[in-house]
């Protein structure tokens, strides 16, 4: 079977993590969430975690070289041979270009990019309800601003490559997942 090499795209709170958890029940591929990797590193107080925390606490993006390095290491692991699902990466065009380069080197071309589209006006409430440490009123505003600015060029980038599948992510979790399944099964 062809490897399933996926990127899940969408603004913070769009439902990438939630859909990822459902996808892996059906497609046994590693869920690679850069946010989760950062949170684990912060909890363990590693050097990378302490560095990332400075940015995450302000709702800023961790510098591209740090994030790209983490993803490159992870995608070099043998458990990604049959596929992988990136969640929260790429979040910048620089990251997207770096991903292209590393996937070429690793001979793991992307199969599809699933874009969970949710109107930004709905997201602040979703993030507040989630209640993660970085989901407080001050950082949410900045995170959304930063990510909205970065998101449009990424959508264009993957659209131009013919990889983009956009799903209306404002609906119920199970309805969004039904659309996700339809797309994945047709790949
Ligand atoms: O993806 P998630 O919302 O879990 O990420 C949490 C935080 O990690 C982001 O708000 C951002 O500060 C940082 N991050 C990043 N670059 C990425 C993914 C996450 O800087 N590509
Ligand atoms: Mg997430």
Distance between CA atoms of residues 111 and 157, nearest Å: 15
Distance between CA atoms of residues 91 and 7, nearest Å: 11
Q: Kindly state the average pLDDT of the residues 37-64.
A: 97
Q: Does 99 lie in the same domain as 154? A: no
DSSP state letters, 139-176: HHHHHHHHHHHHHHHHHHHHHHTT-EEEEETTS-HHHH
Tell me the pLDDT tens digit for each residue of 79-110: 999 999 999 999 999 999 999 999 999 999 99
Q: Does 187 lie in the same domain as 114? A: yes
Q: Kindly state the average pLDDT of the residues 14-34.
A: 97
Looking from the CA of residue 36, the nearest atom of ligand 1 is 4
Q: Does 171 lie in the same domain as 130? A: yes
What percent of the chain is modeled with pLDDT above 90? 96
Q: Does 126 lie in the same domain as 94? A: no
HSE (side-chain half, CA atoms, 13 Å) at 49: 11
Q: Residues enclosing ligand 1, CB less than 6 A? A: 12, 34-35, 38, 55-56, 60-62, 67, 88-89, 91, 134, 143
Q: Provide the 8-state DSSP code for 12.
A: T
Residue 2's pLDDT band, with cuts at 50, 70 and 90, is confident
HSE (side-chain half, CA atoms, 13 Å) at 127: 23
Distance between CA atoms of residues 99 and 119, nearest Å: 27
Q: Kindly state the average pLDDT of the residues 148-155.
A: 96
Residue 136 has pLDDT above 70, yes or no: yes
- Structurally, how many domains does the chain consist of? 2
Q: Is 74 a catalytic residue?
A: no
Q: Is 54 a catalytic residue?
A: no
For the chain, list the strands marked E by DSSP: 4-9, 31-33, 83-87, 112-117, 164-168
Choice among 54, 132, 141, 149 that is catalytic:
132
pTM of the model: 0.97
Q: Is 91 a catalytic residue?
A: yes
Using CA positions, which residue lies closest to atom 9 of ligand 1? 56
Residue 67's pLDDT band, with cuts at 50, 70 and 90, is very high
- 3-state class of 81 per DSSP? coil
Q: Please, which residues have CB less than 5 A from ligand 2, an ion?
A: 17, 35
Tell me the pLDDT tens digit for each residue of 167-179: 999 999 999 999 9
Domain membership of residue 187 (yes or no) is yes
Distance between CA atoms of residues 171 and 119, nearest Å: 11
Residue 31 has pLDDT above 90, yes or no: yes
Domain membership of residue 178 (yes or no) is yes
Q: Is 143 a catalytic residue?
A: yes
Q: Does 164 lie in the same domain as 121? A: yes
Q: Is 34 annotated as a binding residue?
A: yes
Residue 131 has pLDDT above 90, yes or no: no
């Amino acid at each position: 079977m062809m490897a399933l090499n996926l990127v899940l795209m969408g603004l913070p709170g769009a439902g990438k993590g939630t859909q990822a958890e459902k996808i892996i029940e059906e497609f046994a591929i590693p869920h690679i969430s850069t946010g989760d990797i950062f949170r684990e590193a912060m909890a363990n107080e590693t050097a990378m975690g302490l560095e990332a925390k400075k940015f995450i606490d302000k709702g800023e993006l961790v510098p591209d070289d740090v994030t790209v390095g983490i993803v490159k290491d992870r995608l070099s692991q043998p458990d990604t041979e049959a596929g992988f699902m990136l969640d929260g990466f790429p979040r910048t065009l620089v990251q997207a270009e770096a991903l292209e380069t590393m996937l070429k080197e690793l001979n793991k071309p992307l199969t599809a990019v699933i874009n969970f589209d949710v109107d930004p006006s709905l997201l602040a409430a979703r993030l507040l309800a989630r209640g993660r440490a970085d989901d407080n009123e001050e950082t949410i505003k900045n995170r959304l601003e930063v990510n909205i600015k970065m998101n449009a060029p990424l959508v264009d980038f993957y659209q131009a490559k013919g990889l983009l599948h956009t799903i209306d992510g404002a609906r119920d979790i199970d309805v969004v997942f039904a659309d996700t399944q339809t797309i994945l099964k047709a790949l």
